[in-house]
Structure 1
Amino acid sequence: MDNALILIAEDEAEIAEIVGVYLENAGMRIVKATDGELALLHAKQLKPDLILLDIKMPKKDGLEVLREIRRNSNIPVVMMTALAEDIDKISSLRLGADDYVVKPFNPLEIVERVKAVLRRTVGQVDNEIALRVGCLKIDRDANAVFVLRGDEEIHVSLTPTEYLVIAHMSYSSKRAYSRSELVDACLPEGEALERTVDSHVSNTRKKLEIAGAKGYLETVRGVGYRLEPLT
């Protein structure tokens, strides 16, 4: 966590300056972007350890930036949003944000949120398009999941929602995800019921087992589901 590189994507210079000072005082390095296009360029070239991403930015807004980042990277992202933007909060989590903070905020809160996300994701970040989770290969470019058996790659035929469940949980594969979290992150608005999650998970688990990946998407009693079984 010490010396972690944090990209602050924020077009309000005063906010970016204050947040930057607090993060630097906590031992982190910072780089700033004042618009969405520059944020994407920095994310690609500098590969920061975490991105603080404002939703309202020029050229490309934060949700566009997050969507593009998640096409080929699982860099942790913490969204910064205005108080009344509940829809944006939900949208950002559905697109793959790791957390969000609401303006106006205490800079110390930002530091603690950043530390918490870094602790949760350390060792999990993989900037390659294809991510390995046990015997699973998640190809974010093709939106596809494969089961690896020796030199063979077996494609698992998933629905778009089933793929989103796998892809979202792969960011921290041994963490237990609640049903409500999976609803926000993965389900279309018309399906936003917790019992629908159970159906999607059950169907996905069966498909993984048929392809030779047993034990994945295990149920965590009283919480929800975990993608990769604990060993």
Structure 2
Amino acid sequence: MSRRTIMLVDDEKEIIKLMEIYLQNEGYILLKASDGVEALEILEKHSVDLIIMDVMMPRMDGMEACMKIRETRELPIILLSAKNQDIDKISGLSLGADDYVTKPFNPLELIARVKSHLRRYKQFGRSPNADNTLIEIDDLSINIATHKVTIDGEEVKLTPREFAILQLMASNRGIVFSMDRIYQEVWNEPFMESRNTVMVHIRKLREKIEPDPRAPRYIKTVWGIGYKIDPD
């Protein structure tokens, strides 16, 4: 099995060294950058499977870099920040990050999150050997094999998490999924975080696939319980 490549983006050398020790022990190939500009330059030259990126950095911070990366790439992004308010986490997730870890962090917890994201990305990401399964709901088309989603023939770019949530509900139409269950199924770990994480991903997903996110056509809210996609 090929080794996964992780890019570490942080201007604090001590943080880089700490993550480097733990990630190398797990057998990952590491690339390092000190700010968003350098990270984008590395992405143009190297194949990267996951990014761990600090929010506060010179030249280009993690938030701006995350937005630019999401314009062309779907790989998992974990943001690091000393800011631990919900609004900061929501902002990061809204810009396309898959996870948000506050400093100081437990290196073993970060490793667990990295493994979870890589495992989930492999399961829901592009796979040339996957079955060519196509799910169609009115004008919405979801190709499981190519990780491609289209609305009325126009392709919609989703992050791996957004695609995983959509695939989960589209493959189980009529079933109501609570936020706890969505988190457990998609993040592949016990539900311990704020429900804001799931809510932000649902909101971003609706903004991309719904003609009118305020009156959802595909992802319906079942008040007090969760979300579902109705059967045909």
| TM-score, structure 2 normalization | 0.65
Match of 2:151 in 1: 146
TM superposition shift of 1:19 = 0.2
Per-residue CA distance 1:150-188 (angstroms, 9 max, x = gap): xxx3x49xxxxxx79999622554345738545424649
Q: 1: CA distance between counterparts of 2:229 and 2:30?
A: 33
> Aligned pair 1:203/2:203, yes or no?
no
Q: 2: CA distance between counterparts of 1:20 and 1:115?
A: 15
Q: How many residue pairs were aligned?
A: 186
Q: 2: CA distance between counterparts of 1:225 and 1:201?
A: 16
What is the RMSD of the two structures over their aligned residues, measured on CA atoms? 3.8
Q: How does 1:37-56 map to 2 (within 5 A)?
A: 37-56=37-56
Q: Which runs of 5+ in 2 are unaligned?
A: 127-132, 144-148, 170-176, 180-194, 205-209
> Aligned pair 1:174/2:167, yes or no?
yes
Kindly indicate whether the alpha-carbon contact (under 8 Å) linking 1:35 and 1:60 is maintained by their aligned counterparts in 2. Answer: yes
TM superposition shift of 1:218 = 7.7
Kindly indicate whether the alpha-carbon contact (under 8 Å) linking 2:125 and 2:160 is maintained by their aligned counterparts in 1. Answer: no
Match of 2:117 in 1: 117
Match of 2:172 in 1: none
Q: Which runs of 5+ in 1 are unaligned?
A: 127-131, 139-143, 148-152, 157-162, 189-196, 206-216
Q: Secondary structure at the match of 1:174?
A: helix
Q: Secondary structure at the match of 2:105?
A: coil
Q: 2: CA distance between counterparts of 1:3 and 1:201?
A: 43
Per-residue CA distance 1:79-131 (angstroms, 9 max, x = gap): 101144543211111112111111001211111110111111114345xxxxx
Match of 1:90 in 2: 90
After TM superposition, where is structure 1 displaced by more than 6 Å over at least 4 residues in a row? 163-168, 218-221
- Give, as a single letter, the amino acid of the residue that structure 2 aligns with 1:174: Q
Match of 1:104 in 2: 104
Kindly indicate whether the alpha-carbon contact (under 8 Å) linking 1:78 and 1:98 is maintained by their aligned counterparts in 2. Answer: yes
Match of 2:173 in 1: none
